[in-house]
Amino acid sequence: MSGRIIDGKAIAASLRADVAAAVKALPSQPALVVVLVGDDPASQVYVTSKGKATREAGMRSVEIRLPADTSEADLIARVDALSRDPEVDGILVQLPLPKHIHEANVLAAIDPLKDVDGLTEASAGKLVLGKPGLRPCTPVGSVILAKTERPDLAGANVVVIGRSILVGKPAALLFLEQNASVTIAHSKTRDLRMVCRGADVLVAAVGRPEMVRGDWIRPGAIVIDVGTNRVPAPEKGEGKTKLVGDVHFAEAIQVAAAVTPSPGGVGPMTIACLLRNTVLAACARRGWTVPDALAQS
């Protein structure tokens, strides 16, 4: 018996439609600025797709592309100027940055009111304290996907594999906000497989291709696969690659109640949640009422 595939593309499309409806109800267009440093191919694809999605939602999209040898000081100055620009509602600095630039220093220059990626210290602090604020997009998307299968997460055992500040830690806090009982597991966790088998909801965010096998999953669990890993694909020809998640999908779908595919699961939700954050940021900063289309999303 096979489990269900959680269609992240369809769920994200619904959220994006809500965002577009909300934008039409606003006094003016919110503006999202995405800053890309260098020529990393994957980052270029991400930036292009974010810009396209922003425009499709009816918002202004600005892409700032800087050379790889941009200095840290110049980048911080650019971000600081965007933070002070009253016409800019959201700022996203595409990660990773070139190695000579300290990401933490750049993120610190983002006005927390425009931190649509939810990565500044102020945003993280509000999440920990349970105060209103902008939340990281990928963890929010993961919770939304889990709730499509289990709308009430109160009392659920949630295991998050991974403790990064980008996904693992904020995801754990967001599931706690849903009154779930949360375990953060990682490379030093003893008997990781058995810890995972206790999960009603298993979130894999470790960046290791197909690490989570079928026998790691409790029958009937919900599996949210955050991983996106490029691996060799000899079946496609010499030198070809493919994308796989942190979960062995073919095995997981035979055991779990529902599984997100990778790609096509969490990824589309990340962009949809970025658009939602941009609208929420604009409303909070400009004193606008959040439109009904997003008030309950």
Q: Which residues are part of the catalytic machinery? A: 50, 94, 117
Give the alpha-carbon dihedral of 238, 240, 245, 246, to 10 degrees. Answer: 40
Give the alpha-carbon dihedral of 168, 173, 174, 175, to 10 degrees. Answer: 90
Contacts within 8 Å (CB) and 24+ apart, 40-43: 40/96, 43/94, 43/96
Question: What does the alpha-carbon distance between residue 284 and residue 294 come to, in Å, rounded to a whole number?
Answer: 13
Q: What are phi and psi of 130, to 5 degrees?
A: 75, 20
- Buried/exposed code over 70-99 (b: 16+ C-beta within 10 A; e: otherwise): bebeebbebbeebbeeeebbbbbbbeebbe
Question: What does the alpha-carbon distance between residue 242 and residue 5 come to, in Å, rounded to a whole number?
Answer: 19
The amino acid occupying position 15 is L
Contact status, residue 201 vs residue 175, Cβ threshold 8 Å: yes
222-225/258-259 β-pairing: parallel
Using a 10 angstrom Cβ sphere, with 0-12 exposed, 13-18 middle and 19 or more buried, the burial of residue 216 is: buried
